[in-house]
């Protein structure tokens, strides 16, 4: 009787472990694959945003003609607008799925450049998710968001829409 109970308990633990591994894989897939661990003791150089115009943003002297995400470690990535488009039919409303992709553990603030005419908004689900993670959100016209980015502390992430 004791052996059977022990075997059942071990089977439950193994199932929990498999479920946890599957959940981690799902999260990694949503975030675009495994990320390298960041060394926290290194000085992080956040890129400076120089300017914006309708349809582009200039970062460290390089003109980029698409929406971008700025990461904690300083990398610049193309925004995955399709994550919001498939939910709302537009990239002007940031979905929960896109918020999950943009958010990084350790981020204290997300600065959103909502476009030249401030057309981008945050869905209620995305806002609740970011609040739950302890990440404040600043949603500003892209030109104002650039000023906020350039003066923000080191635990900031950014999403910048370059059109309307």
What is the pTM for the complete model shown? Answer: 0.73
**What per-residue confidence (pLDDT) applies to 154?**
83
CATH of span 49-161: 3.40.1230.10
CA distance 119 to 85: 14
**What per-residue confidence (pLDDT) applies to 150?**
97
**Boundaries of every domain in the chain:** 1-32, 49-161
**What per-residue confidence (pLDDT) applies to 62?**
97
Question: Running along the chain, 164 residues long, what does each successive block of 10 average in pLDDT?
Answer: 58 59 61 49 75 96 97 96 97 98 97 96 98 97 97 94 94
Q: Nearest to residue 161, comparing CAs of 124, 109, 126, 120?
A: 120
**125 and 87 in contact (C-beta within 8 Å)?**
no
**What per-residue confidence (pLDDT) applies to 37?**
45
CA distance 81 to 153: 26
What are the backbone dihedrals phi and psi of residue 89, each rounded to the nearest 5 degrees, phi first? Answer: 80, 5
DSSP string computed for 119-164: --EE-HHHHHHHHHTT-EEEEE-HHHHHHHHHHS-TTEEEEEE---
């Amino acid at each position: 009787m004791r052996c059977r109970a022990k075997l059942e308990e071990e089977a439950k633990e193994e199932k929990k472990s498999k479920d946890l591994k599957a959940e981690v894989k799902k999260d990694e897939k949503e975030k675009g694959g495994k990320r390298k661990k960041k060394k926290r003791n290194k000085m992080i150089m956040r890129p400076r945003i120089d300017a914006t115009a309708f349809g582009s943003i200039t970062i460290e002297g390089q003109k980029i003609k698409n929406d971008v995400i700025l990461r904690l470690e300083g990398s610049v990535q193309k925004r995955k607008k399709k994550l919001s488009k498939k939910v709302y039919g537009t990239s002007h409303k940031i979905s929960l799925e896109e918020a999950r992709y943009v958010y990084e553990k350790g981020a204290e603030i997300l600065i959103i450049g909502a476009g030249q005419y401030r057309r981008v908004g945050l869905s209620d689900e995305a806002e609740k998710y970011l609040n739950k993670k302890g990440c404040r959100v600043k949603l500003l016209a892209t030109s104002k968001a650039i000023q906020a980015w350039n003066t923000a502390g080191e635990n900031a992430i950014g999403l910048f829409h370059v059109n309307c």
